[in-house]
Structure 1
Amino acid sequence: MSSTRTLISPTQLASRRGRILYRTVLTLVVTTFTLVFLGPLYWMASNGLKSTEEFARIPPTTFPQALHPENYTSAWEVMDLSHLLLNTLWYAFGALAFQLVLDVAAAYSLSKLRPVFGKAILGMMLATLMIPATVLVVPQYLTVLDVPIFQRNLLNSPWVIWLPSVTNAFNIFLLKRFFDSVPQELLDASAIDGASQMRTLWSVVLPISRPILGVVSIFAVVGVWKDFLWPMLTLNDPTKQTLNVGIYSLASGVPENWLLAAIAMASVPTLLIFLIFQRNIMSGLTAGGLKG
C-alpha cells in the first residue's frame, strides 16, 4: 500500500465519477488563478489599444471596438521610453555586477572560509530581512545624501542605485546555501594542486554554481527594474530617471490610454525574463537543497 497521502485517493480517482470531479475542480482552480493573474495584464494591454473616447466609456468595454496600435508608438516617442529604458538597463546591470562580485565573495567566505563570528554575522544579515524596506528609506537617504568618510552626495548618480542593492541578505543566503552543498573534497583536491582560495572559487566553485548565479542575476535585475520609491526619491533629474519613475513623472501630461500603453511596454522585459528563465529560477532555488 502506498504511503503517499493525496487529496484524492487512488481508489476514488480510478472511478469515473472521481475522475470527472477531479478534472472539473482542477479546471476551475486553474482557470480562476489564470484570470486573477492574467486579468490585470490583459486590462492594461487592451486599454492601451483603445481610443480616448472608448477608454473613458462607462461601463468599460471588455474588448476594444477598434484597435489603435499607434497609442503605443505615440507613448514610446512622447514619453521618451527608449531613454528611460536605457537608464534602467544601466542601473540594473550595474547592480547585477556589484551583487555578483560582492555577494558571491560574502557567501563563499561564510560558507567555506569559516571566519570568526561567521554564524553571528549571518544571523544579523538574516535578521535584516525581518525589517520592512520602507523603514530603511530614511536612514538610507540620509546616508547617500552625505556619505560618511567620503563626504559625497550620491543623489542623481548611478551609485545611489548600485550601492544599496549590494546589501542583499536574501541573495547572500541563497548563495551560501548552495556553496554549503559543494563537496569539500573538490576544494581539498584544488588545494592539493596548489590553487589559492581565489583560484578555487573562480575555477572550481563558480562553474558548478551557474544555476544559483542565474537566479541571483534574475532577482538583481528584476529588483532594480520594479523598484519605484527609492529611484523616485534619489533620481530627481529627468534625464537620469528609471522607467517606472519617468512614466510616473510624465503621467499627467499624456492621455490615460497612452499611459497604459507605456506601462504595458515597461512590463514586457520582466515578463520575458520570467517566461524564458522560469525553469532556471526553480532549479536554482532548489539547488543545494540536498548535500552529497
Structure 2
Amino acid sequence: MVLVIQSRRKMTPGKMAALMAAAFLAVWVIPFAWATATAFQSETDAAAPKVTWVPPSGFTIDAFVKVFQDGNIPLWTWSSFYTSAAITLITLVISSLVAYALSRIDFRGKRVLMGVIIAPIIIPPPVLIIPLFNQMVALRMIDTSWAIVLPQVIHPAMVFVLKKFFDQIPRELEEAAVMDGASRLRIFTQIVVPLSRPILAAVAIFVFIGAWNNFLWPFIATNDNSLLTLPVGLQTIKSAYGIQYAQNMASALLAALPLIVVFLFFQRQIVTGFATSGPAGT
C-alpha cells in the first residue's frame, strides 16, 4: 500500500505527459511499421493467414517494382505537387487578406460576415461535391487542373486562425506606419506579413498536406490520366487476382512519403506557428 502511494506521488505531470505521448506514438508507429513490413513482402507472404513481422521468404521490393511498372508515378507525383502548391499559394493570399480585413477594418455587418465565413466549417465537404461539380461543368473546367485547384482554395478555418493571430499584432505599429504615409496594402505586406511568418508557414503546410491527401474531389474532377494526382492515380492500379496487400501497402507508402518528408523538415514551423500567441513569440 505504501509503495502504491509513493509511486502515485512520484507520477509528476511531466511523466504523465510523457506516458501519454508514448502511447500516442505507439498508436501511430505500430500501424505504420506494419504497413512498411507488408510492403516489403511478397504477395504470398502478405496474404498468409499467419501474422508475422519477418516473412519466411525474406523481404523484397517486388511490390514497389510492380506499382512503378503499372502506373505513372513520376507524372502523378508532379501533378500532386503543382496542384497542391497552387492551392496553397492561392489559399494563403485569399485567407490572409480576408483575415486581415476582418481583424483591422471596421465596417457595417462585420460580425455577420465573419459568421458567414466561419459557418462553412461545420458543413461536411461531401455535401458540396454535386454543386461544385455542376459549377465546374458550367465553367467548362472539368478535366483541367483548375477544376482540381479552385474548389480547394477556400478554407474558412485558416481565415479564423489567421484572424486570431492578426488580432495579437499591436496596432501601434500600423498607426506609426500610417503617420509615415504608408498605405493599407504596404502595411500588410511590409509589417503584418513579416511578423506573421510562423503562422503563415504553419497554415501553408497544413493546406498543402490537405490538398495532397485529398482523394474524392480530384477523383471526380478529372479523368485525364496526365492530370491525376498521386492518391487518385495509385487507385487506378488494379490487379485481376483480388486484393494485393503488398502492392496496396507499397502504394500507400509512396503516397505518404512526400508528406513525411515535409513534416520532418517543417515540424518546427508547424509547432511554432500554432503555439505562438502573438508577435512576441515570433
TM-score normalised by the chain length of structure 2: 0.88
Give 1:159 shift: 1.2
Q: Supply the AA of the counterpart residue of 2:177.
A: S
Q: Supply the AA of the counterpart residue of 1:267.
A: A
Structure 1 unmatched ranges of 5 or more: 1-11, 147-151
Residues 283 and 52 (structure 1), Cα distance of their counterparts in 2 relative to 1, 3 Å cut: same
1:42 corresponds to 2:71: no
Give 1:187 shift: 0.4
1:94 touches 1:162 (CA, 8 Å); kept in 2? yes
Shifted more, 261-270 versus 203-212: the winner is 261-270
TM-score normalised by the chain length of structure 1: 0.85
- Calculate percent identity across the aligned residue pairs: 28
Q: Distance between the aligned counterparts of 2:280 and 2:116, measured in 1? A: 25
For residue 72 of structure 1, the aligned residue among 61, 64, 72 is 64
Q: Distance between the aligned counterparts of 2:235 and 2:45, measured in 1? A: 23
Residues 26 and 128 (structure 1), Cα distance of their counterparts in 2 relative to 1, 3 Å cut: closer
For residue 287 of structure 1, the aligned residue among 263, 266, 276 is 276
1:95 corresponds to 2:87: yes
Give 1:35 shift: 2.7
For residue 263 of structure 1, the aligned residue among 252, 255, 274 is 252
1:111 corresponds to 2:98: no
SS at match of 1:173: helix
Give 1:108 shift: 1.0
For residue 43 of structure 2, the aligned residue among 41, 52, 55 is 52
Shifted more, 191-200 versus 28-37: the winner is 28-37
Where do residues 1-292 of structure 1 align in structure 2 (5 Å cutoff)? 15=6, 18-19=9-10, 29-65=20-56, 66-146=58-138, 152-252=139-239, 255-288=244-277
Q: Supply the AA of the counterpart residue of 1:259.
A: N
Give 1:31 shift: 4.7
Q: Distance between the aligned counterparts of 1:25 and 1:107, measured in 2? A: 38
Give 1:173 shift: 0.7
Give 1:266 shift: 1.1
2:42 touches 2:62 (CA, 8 Å); kept in 1? no
Residues 204 and 23 (structure 1), Cα distance of their counterparts in 2 relative to 1, 3 Å cut: closer
Q: Distance between the aligned counterparts of 1:24 and 1:106, measured in 2? A: 42
Residues 52 and 280 (structure 1), Cα distance of their counterparts in 2 relative to 1, 3 Å cut: same
Q: Distance between the aligned counterparts of 1:201 and 1:31, measured in 2? A: 42
Residues 184 and 17 (structure 1), Cα distance of their counterparts in 2 relative to 1, 3 Å cut: closer
Give 1:74 shift: 3.6
Residues 25 and 221 (structure 1), Cα distance of their counterparts in 2 relative to 1, 3 Å cut: closer
